[in-house]
Structure 1
Amino acid sequence: MGKVVYGMHTSMDGYIEGPDGGFGFTVPAEDVHQAANDQVRRCGAFLFGRRLYEVMEKPWTEQLGNEGAPAVEREFAQLYRRTPRYVFSDTLQSVPDGVTIVRRKDAASVVERLKREVDGNLEIGGAELAASLVDLIDEFHVFAFPVIVGGGKPYLPVEREVRLRMVEQRSFESGVLFRRFVRA
């Protein structure tokens, strides 16, 4: 049975994008990138909102991870390419092989089905998608980068309290702090 995990890179003040929409502050150093690779090895499928899918898909399938790239990036690209990807969108009309479009109205039922059918983690990427599926999320992962951006898109834009219990915390040499939470 799969476990739904929502994880994103954030600023110390909890934003995945700064006020200008930029997220360059979340570019991982090698130690954090290796931790991400380790997580992807446990991943049964990626569940992306459309915007994050568009940020990830072309670079990791066509550009990044090729000859000359650092070994950690080449490894991530290989893992990414072989992991099934689901993009939740009402506007996309076509996607390449290895990617499945899920319409928003079907989101909860598809995730519930994947939880039953997929071994490994179902990694949600995208704050709005995560907010729409918050009741199905089993774990919350935060990679907090040592920067304060003062505003932007929050890690999880929900309008109610979600109680959590921290079950893991570790720091990286690069200054990033990782925290893993489950429901309280």
Structure 2
Amino acid sequence: MGKVIYWMNTSIDGYIEGPDEAMDFMEPAEDFRQEANDHVRRIAAFLFGRRLYEAMEKPWTEDLGKEGAPALEREFARFYKETPRYVFSDTLQTVPEGVTIVRRKDAESVVTRLKQEIDGTLQLGGPELAVSLLDLIDEFWVYAFPVIVGGGKPYLPVGEQLPLRLVEHRSLASGTTFRRYVRS
């Protein structure tokens, strides 16, 4: 049976985007890039909200996988392209090969089916999608970059309390921390 993890990178004050919708405060160091590659090579499928999909797809399928890009980026791009990707959107009409569009009304049933059919990690990304699939999320992963942005889009805008238990915590040499939580 598959496991859904919700993984987003944040500032230490919990934002995935700054007040201006920018994500430039999360400039990854080499140790984070290696860590991300180690995780991504084990992912069975990506489950993206539309905005995160659009932020990831072109760079990792076109720009960063090319010769001349740093080796860790080329490796991540290869893992990314080889992994099935599902984008949850009511507005997208076409996607490239390797990507499946899922309409938002079908999100819960599709993710439930994927959890039953895929024996591996389903990496969910996008806070609005995560909120809509909250009951299906098994683990919450946070890579917190050592910066405070003071506002913006939060990691998970649930509006209610969700008790979690910390099961793993690591600090990278660059100052980025990793925390993995499960439901209490």
Q: Smaller-chain TM-score range?
A: over 0.9
Corresponding residue for 1:124?
Answer: 124
Give structure 1 regions of 4+ aligned residues with deviation exceeding 4 angstroms: none
Identity of aligned residues (%): 72
Corresponding residue for 1:27?
Answer: 27
Following TM superposition, by how much is the alpha carbon of 1:62 offset from its aligned partner in structure 2, in angstroms?
0.8
CA deviations over 1:71-127 (Å, ceiling 9, x no partner): 110100000000000000000001011000000000000000000011211000111
Residue ranges of structure 1 left out of the alignment (5+ in a row): none
Aligned equivalents of 2:39, 2:17: Cα separation in 1: 22
Aligned equivalents of 1:114, 1:76: Cα separation in 2: 23
Corresponding residue for 1:140?
Answer: 140
Aligned equivalents of 1:145, 1:66: Cα separation in 2: 27
Following TM superposition, by how much is the alpha carbon of 1:27 offset from its aligned partner in structure 2, in angstroms?
2.4
Q: Which amino acid aligns with 1:34?
A: Q
Corresponding residue for 1:48?
Answer: 48
Aligned equivalents of 2:63, 2:89: Cα separation in 1: 24
Q: Give the SS at the match of 2:28.
A: coil
TM-score, structure 2 as length reference? 0.98
Q: Give the SS at the match of 2:67.
A: coil
Aligned equivalents of 2:154, 2:183: Cα separation in 1: 19
Alignment of 1:1-184 (within 5 A): 1-184=1-184
Aligned CA RMSD, in angstroms, stands at 0.7
Aligned equivalents of 1:18, 1:28: Cα separation in 2: 16
Following TM superposition, by how much is the alpha carbon of 1:160 offset from its aligned partner in structure 2, in angstroms?
1.1
Following TM superposition, by how much is the alpha carbon of 1:12 offset from its aligned partner in structure 2, in angstroms?
0.5
Aligned equivalents of 2:11, 2:64: Cα separation in 1: 24
Aligned equivalents of 1:33, 1:120: Cα separation in 2: 22
Moved more, 136-145 or 27-36: 27-36
TM-score, structure 1 as length reference? 0.98
Q: Give the SS at the match of 1:140.
A: strand
Q: How many residues align?
A: 184
Aligned equivalents of 1:116, 1:34: Cα separation in 2: 30
Q: Give the SS at the match of 1:112.
A: helix
